[in-house]
């Protein structure tokens, strides 16, 4: 008789299963670990006397994960016969696991306050890789020789068996702290502890610290320090989980996601007056996501602070102190997560999602948004373009806007919206089946997939931000009077819009029009969350042929502004109106082509108001989103494999 323990796990990533395998090896117990496309299954002998202690210990070594959900157990006379997933050997970029964290805070450990602590199944690995395949020789740590203790650990510790990036304070990376006069090097346990203690003390005293983390340079400061510019655009770093419920309004799914080993970036509602005063009704929140921020957060708590703030920046950003290390690392864009009840969608970013292994029978390289899909050792891997050496391929697909010259004789340029739709269809095994798609990412396009190719069925009218007032004034009768009245009522905004430079999308221009500090889709979305009422105004979304008209949309917003409509009500109404418009057009297209499959792509859908409206208008069709890739532009490199 077998005891079967199943955990739902909705990702092909295998670091959780591998952590369990390492624990099984450490405990020398006969437990089989099997991972399928949606589960991790543990198979044990029911009569094993060590079973109870094994599962009790399992709770201590397993981290929370975005992908873990319900678990169940049962008994069976036979072992499950399932098709296991192939084991991946790709560098990770997640937080340290519970065991590695424990080492960082154990004074007897050779990794006490060592921020680069990691193992085979956790931590910051991707940052050090220089090319594939993943090995120490192909990393920026190749010049650091493991000490005797680490060498022995590579043989005896199941978590670090043959681990390419093993290191400790004795043989690892030195960190330094620099102020205007003195440079302090951290070489011993006491040095490392003191460095983070001084950094936290400086922040608590109102100073700023520019720190090189595993996720790029971040400038940390006390958000109550009014001398810092654009504090409201910073990210809130919670030093302790205890402060979440005090300062933020979180549903259970948001709380669990923030504390997961994947450590996503999440926009949540604010609660305490002190946080509302700085950030308004919502804020981007992060829980310490690498060794540097974890150690800083521990020392921040010792200063009686529950949170600090940071902005992502360059290495030459001005600050009172600099915490740095010499070894070069590759920074990935942080991953943003959207949560609506039990739905979790990656909005944008690279960390956690990439590198990814995908299946492809084509001899094709795909390049989009600085990411590439390349065959390495018989496997197709998506990762940063710069990590791949030159390869031989029959064809190369390159995003039309990508500044990349392959010089390949068979180079094909493709549109982002086509690849995005194909990415979703591929993830849901719908390739070859007719579908209607909506791509909403800066512009709004309605798509039709006929089973062979993606067609832009209802394209948006192109938007150009230059000569904006001329285009608005000639839109329809009376529009010229609107321009005149708007110039009188909002002279500063009028002048700003009259001197726009560069290629700006409609959301950037809308945010400027509304006077938002964050001049982006993110800023409008944040402002919409502050509206607590129900039912919005009808924003004009089209003029003719059911096509979305950016200028009509902008004109409608300006008209409401002249009518003294509150900004947060306008932002909320924008998304409600888009939801109604999409909900009207999509059923018409579905009926014309005789399909029930709806695909939604583009990070604009990661808005609570719009998402709720879409569920209300299109919920009966159960619209499909990306599962393992971002719904934003980063999915294009995957979808290009299916064009």
Tell me the C-alpha distance between 93 and 126, whole Å: 6
Q: Residue 49's CB: how many other CB atoms inside 10 A?
A: 7
Reduced 3-state DSSP string for 526-547: HHHHCCCCCCCCCCCCECCCCC
Tell me the C-alpha distance between 175 and 194, whole Å: 11
- pLDDT at position 526 is 82
pLDDT at 543 over 60: no
H helix runs in 280-373, sequence order = 291-302
CA nearest 346: which of 615, 76, 605?
605
**CATH architecture of the domain with residue range 431-623:** 2-Layer Sandwich (3.30)
pLDDT band at 83 (very low <50, low <70, confident <90, very high): low
Q: What are the percentages of helix, strand and coil residues in the chain, rounded to 5?
A: 35, 25, 40
pLDDT at 183 over 80: yes
pLDDT at 544 over 80: no
Terminal-residue alpha carbon distance, the chain: 49
Q: What residues have CB less than 8 Å from 523, skipping those under 6 apart?
A: 511, 516, 517
What's the mean pLDDT in 201-217?
95
Report yes or no: 280 and 526 within 8 Å, Cβ to Cβ: yes
Work out whether strand 454-458 and strand 444-449 pair parallel, antiparallel, or are unpaired. antiparallel
Considering only 103-112, 194-203, 409-418, 480-489, which range has the smallest mean pLDDT? 480-489
Where do the CATH 3.90.870.30 domains begin and end in the chain?
Answer: 90-173
Per residue in 347-396, pLDDT tens? 999 999 999 999 888 999 999 999 999 998 888 999 999 999 878 899 99
What's the mean pLDDT in 409-437?
96
pLDDT at 541 over 80: no
Where do the CATH 3.90.870.10 domains begin and end in the chain?
Answer: 175-324
Reported as type and span, the H/E element at residue 630 is none
pLDDT band at 542 (very low <50, low <70, confident <90, very high): low
Domain 90-173: assigned CATH number:
3.90.870.30
Classify residue 62 by burial, with Cβ atoms within 10 Å: 0-12, 13-18, 19+: middle
pLDDT at 232 over 80: yes
Three-state SS at 38: coil
Assigned token pair, 615? 């569920």
What's the mean pLDDT in 457-467?
81
Angle between helices 291-302 and 189-204 (to 10 degrees): 60
What's the mean pLDDT in 396-408?
89
Task: Provide the percentage of residues in the chain whose pLDDT is more than 90.
Answer: 66
CA nearest 357: which of 374, 385, 383, 381?
381
- Positive or negative: CA dihedral 24, 28, 34, 39: negative
What length is written for the chain?
643
Where do the CATH 3.30.420.40 domains begin and end in the chain?
Answer: 431-623
What's the mean pLDDT in 408-428?
95
Per residue in 125-177, pLDDT tens? 999 999 988 999 999 999 999 999 999 999 999 999 999 999 999 999 999 99
Domain 175-324: assigned CATH number:
3.90.870.10
- pLDDT at position 461 is 77
pLDDT at 229 over 90: no
Q: Residue 87's CB: how many other CB atoms inside 10 A?
A: 10
Residue found under tokens 């992908």: 67
Domain 2-76: assigned CATH number:
3.30.70.260
pLDDT at 84 over 60: yes
């Amino acid at each position: 008789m077998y005891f079967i323990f199943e955990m739902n796990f909705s990702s092909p990533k295998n670091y959780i299963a591998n952590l369990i395998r390492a624990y099984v090896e450490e405990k020398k117990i006969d437990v089989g670990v099997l991972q399928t496309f949606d589960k991790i299954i543990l198979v044990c002998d029911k009569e094993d006397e060590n079973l109870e202690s094994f599962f009790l210990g399992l709770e201590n070594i397993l981290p929370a994960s975005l992908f873990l959900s319900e678990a169940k157990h049962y008994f069976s006379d036979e072992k499950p016969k399932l098709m296991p997933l192939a084991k991946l050997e790709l560098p990770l970029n997640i937080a340290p696991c519970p065991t590695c964290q424990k080492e960082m805070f154990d004074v007897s450990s050779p990794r006490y306050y060592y921020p680069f602590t990691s193992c085979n199944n956790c931590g910051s690995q991707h940052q050090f890789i220089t090319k594939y395949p993943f090995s120490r020789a192909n990393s920026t740590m190749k010049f650091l020789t493991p000490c005797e203790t680490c060498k022995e650990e590579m043989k005896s510790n199941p978590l670090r068996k043959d681990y390419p990036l093993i290191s400790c304070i004795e043989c690892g990376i030195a960190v330094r702290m620099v102020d205007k006069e003195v440079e302090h090097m951290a070489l011993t346990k006491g040095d490392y502890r003191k460095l983070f203690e001084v950094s936290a003390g400086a922040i608590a005293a109102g100073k700023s610290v520019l720190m090189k983390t595993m996720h790029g340079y971040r400038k940390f400061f006390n958000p109550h320090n009014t001398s810092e510019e654009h504090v409201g655009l910073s990210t809130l770093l919670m030093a302790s989980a205890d402060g979440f419920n005090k300062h933020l309004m979180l549903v259970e799914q948001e709380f669990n996601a923030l504390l997961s080993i994947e450590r996503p970036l999440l926009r949540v509602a604010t609660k305490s007056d002190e946080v509302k005063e700085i950030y308004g009704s919502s804020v981007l929140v992060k829980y310490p996501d690498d060794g540097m921020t974890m150690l800083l957060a521990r020392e921040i708590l010792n200063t009686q602070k529950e949170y600090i703030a940071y902005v992502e920046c360059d290495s030459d950003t001005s600050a009172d102190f600099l915490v740095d290390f010499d070894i070069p690392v590759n920074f990935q864009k942080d991953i943003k997560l959207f949560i609506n009840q039990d739905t979790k969608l990656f909005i944008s970013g690279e960390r956690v999602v990439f590198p990814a292994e995908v299946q492809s029978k084509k001899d094709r390289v795909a390049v989009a948004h600085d990411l590439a899909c390349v065959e390495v050792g018989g496997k197709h891997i998506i990762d940063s373009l710069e990590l791949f050496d030159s390869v031989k391929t029959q064809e190369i697909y390159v995003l039309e806007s990508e500044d990349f010259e392959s010089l390949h004789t068979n180079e094909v340029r493709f549109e982002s919206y086509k690849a995005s739709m194909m990415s979703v269809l591929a993830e849901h095994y719908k390739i070859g089946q007719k579908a209607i798609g909506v791509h909403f990412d800066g512009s709004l396009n309605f798509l039709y997939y006929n089973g062979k190719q993606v067609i832009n069925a209802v394209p948006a009218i192109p938007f150009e931000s230059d000569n904006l007032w001329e285009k608005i004034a000639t839109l329809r009768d009376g529009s010229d009077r609107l321009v005149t009245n708007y110039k009188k009522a909002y002279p500063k905004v009028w002048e700003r819009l009259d001197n726009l430079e560069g290629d700006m999308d409609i959301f950037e221009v809308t945010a400027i029009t509304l006077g938002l500090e964050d001049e982006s889709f993110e800023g409008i979305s944040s402002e919409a969350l502050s509206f607590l009422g129900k039912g919005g105004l009808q924003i004009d979304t089209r003029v003719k042929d059911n096509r979305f008209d950016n200028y009509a949309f902008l004109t409608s917003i300006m008209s409401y502004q002249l009518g003294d409509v509150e900004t947060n009500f306008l932002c909320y109404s924008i998304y409600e109106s888009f939801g109604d418009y999409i909900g009207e057009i999509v059923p018409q297209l579905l009926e014309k082509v005789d399909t029930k499959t709806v695909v939604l792509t583009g990070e604009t859908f990661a808005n609570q108001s719009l998402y709720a409206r879409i569920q209300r208008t299109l919920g009966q069709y159960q619209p499909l989103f990306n599962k393992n890739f971002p719904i934003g532009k980063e999915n294009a490199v995957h979808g290009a494999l299916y064009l």
